[in-house]
Amino acid sequence: MIMNLIMSFVRSQVDNLLGQATKEIDRLGDEVAGGLRNALNPLQNGMWTGQGAEKFFEEMTSVVFPEIAAIATGGIDFVGAFQSAAGIIEQADEAISGIVNSVVDSFDIF
């Protein structure tokens, strides 16, 4: 009983932390990409022209921004994997608790 309460508390704390981590990953990805876009706006609006500028802007949109998105996605995938692992641990704990409780009940220890 006490272990179930402890596991429930721990799980709620893990879920809370993982939710915060997901929000922070999203926020950081948006902040980095937004900052880069804001820095590029004056350049794209005529401050920098020519073939080099075109190649730079093309690389930013075709390589850099997708990589930023991939990094954020990787972070979110990590959080999802961690949530899955926490679920497996919780299921294992429940299974073991059931076995231990049945053994304790069969010997009428407590």
Distance of CA 68 to the CA centre of its chain: 14
Q: Which pTM value belongs to this model? A: 0.67
51 within domain boundaries:
yes
Range 1-16 average pLDDT: 82
Average confidence score pLDDT of the chain: 88
36 within domain boundaries:
yes
Query: Total domain count for the chain?
Result: 1
pLDDT digit string (tens) for 23-69? 999 899 899 989 998 999 998 888 899 999 999 999 999 999 999 99
Distance (Å, whole) CA 10 – CA 3: 10
Look at residues 56, 69, 80, 57 and name the one whose alpha carbon lies nearest to residue 30.
Answer: 69
Using DSSP's 3-state secondary structure scheme, residue 1 falls into: coil
Domain containing 86 equals 24-101
Share of the chain above pLDDT 70, in %: 95
37 within domain boundaries:
yes
